[in-house]
Amino acid sequence: MELVTIRTKGDIMQDVSLAAIGGKGLFIKEIEEALLRGDVDMAVHSMKDVPAELPEELEIAVTPLREDPRDVLISRGDRKLEEMPHGARIGTGSLRRAFQLRNRMPDLKIVPLRGNLDTRIRKLETEGLDGVILAAAGIRRMGWALRVSQFIPVELMLPAVGQGVIGIETRRDDARCREVVAFLNDPVTFCEVGAERGFLKRLGGGCQLPIAAFAKKNGGEIAVTGLVGSLDGRTMISHRVTGPATEFAKLGENLAEHILEQGGRALLDAVY
């Protein structure tokens, strides 16, 4: 087996917001092109970077066990969000995180942030930030959990679609590759991320509006929570549905339909 490293436009252009340069799909475009050409046989992605629509010839074949889906706060003085002073400066490059912070704590100042984990944490000092919001999964994988000031509950900050999940993408007609990696698949994670992606696909949303979703399977049922927000942080439309886990994608779509009917469509139309 040969490992092939591909640097994408999303990896290279770290001084510009994702919304300005085309969204999270920029993290996988060149990789999918290599997969379609046959230069590589499978691709490994962070699922929160994978657009709702995939090329027809490709599929996400495997999702291993999900890491921690939450967001975390790393702060100066080890403060939690509720302990932040008025006007505290919080760094994040995510519309989703910025929206939920503005909606719940409008006195905070949001500072745009991009770069790798080291770079973003270092900006606590170099840019005088009071805190930075990051994905728990990345922090745990780096072994930096002790640096975390707060693991933010999903009830306070709903995660991105697919957050904490690694996906393995293959060509649909390549049964051999699917068989090789099938043992890595976690069926619960596959179900949960499938529900979240069903929600995202029905919305047709990308990186231009705050969109979040989180699914949790419990026995034969699955609960899916989603939200769409306005860019100014003032309008949040959220809802939760539950149903048979066997219908995970349909439940995600039904959740999106409800949010669209409750005002989400107007928010999306205003941007797109």
| Closest to 168 (Cα-Cα) out of 19, 15, 59, 10 | 59
The amino acid at residue 105 is M
Q: Which residues are catalytic?
A: 49
Are 123 and 232 contained in the same domain?
A: no
Are 76 and 211 contained in the same domain?
A: no
Are 59 and 93 contained in the same domain?
A: no
**Which residue, of 125, 152, 179, is where some domain finishes?**
152
Tell me, yes or no, whether 26 lies in a domain: yes
> Once rounded to an integer, what is the mean pLDDT over residues 80-91?
96
Number of domains in the chain: 2
Are 147 and 257 contained in the same domain?
A: no
Give me the phi and psi of 214, to 5 degrees please. Answer: -145, 130
The amino acid at residue 123 is K
**Which range of residues forms the domain containing residue 134?**
71-152
Are 50 and 18 contained in the same domain?
A: yes
Are 54 and 173 contained in the same domain?
A: yes
> Tokens 């994702």 map to which residue?
18
Are 171 and 234 contained in the same domain?
A: yes
Tell me, yes or no, whether 109 lies in a domain: yes
List the single range of 22-26, 55-59, 117-121, 149-153 with lowest mean pLDDT: 22-26
Given a cut of 60, whether residue 22 has pLDDT beyond it is: no
Determine if residue 77 is left, alpha or beta; phi over 0 gives left, psi from -120 to 50 gives alpha, anything else beta.
left
Are 76 and 204 contained in the same domain?
A: no
Given a cut of 80, whether residue 15 has pLDDT beyond it is: no
Given a cut of 80, whether residue 175 has pLDDT beyond it is: yes
> Tokens 């302990």 map to which residue?
83
Tell me, yes or no, whether 186 lies in a domain: yes
Given a cut of 90, whether residue 83 has pLDDT beyond it is: yes
Beta-bridge partners for 166: 46
| Closest to 160 (Cα-Cα) out of 112, 220, 229 | 229
List the single range of 20-34, 81-95, 207-221, 224-238 with lowest mean pLDDT: 20-34
pTM of the predicted model as reported, rounded to 2 decimal places = 0.89
Tokens of 78: 């080890």
Cα dist from 188 to 62, 63, 158, 222, 246, whole Å: 11, 9, 19, 10, 11
**Which residue, of 127, 152, 177, is where some domain finishes?**
152
pLDDT band at 217 (very low <50, low <70, confident <90, very high): very high
Are 48 and 88 contained in the same domain?
A: no
Tokens of 21: 């340069």
- What proportions of the chain, in percent to the nearest 5, are helix, strand and coil? 40, 25, 35
CB atoms within 10 A of CB 2: 5
Tell me, yes or no, whether 48 lies in a domain: yes
Chain centre distance of CA 198:
14
Are 17 and 131 contained in the same domain?
A: no
**DSSP string over 109-133:** EEEE--S-HHHHHHHHHHT--SEEE
Are 256 and 183 contained in the same domain?
A: yes
- pLDDT value at residue 20: 47
- pLDDT value at residue 171: 97
Tell me, yes or no, whether 1 lies in a domain: no
| Closest to 224 (Cα-Cα) out of 19, 201, 152 | 201
% of the chain exceeding 90 in pLDDT:
78
Tell me, yes or no, whether 2 lies in a domain: no
Write the CATH number for 204.
Answer: 3.30.160.40
- pLDDT value at residue 204: 83
**Which residue, of 93, 119, 152, is where some domain finishes?**
152
User: Would you say 192 and 216 are in contact if contact means Cβ atoms under 8 Å apart?
Assistant: yes
- pLDDT value at residue 114: 81
- Beta-carbon contacts of residue 6 (< 8 Å; ≥ 6 apart): 30, 31, 34, 40
> Once rounded to an integer, what is the mean pLDDT over residues 25-47?
89
Tell me, yes or no, whether 4 lies in a domain: no
Write the CATH number for 115.
Answer: 3.40.190.10
Are 21 and 60 contained in the same domain?
A: yes
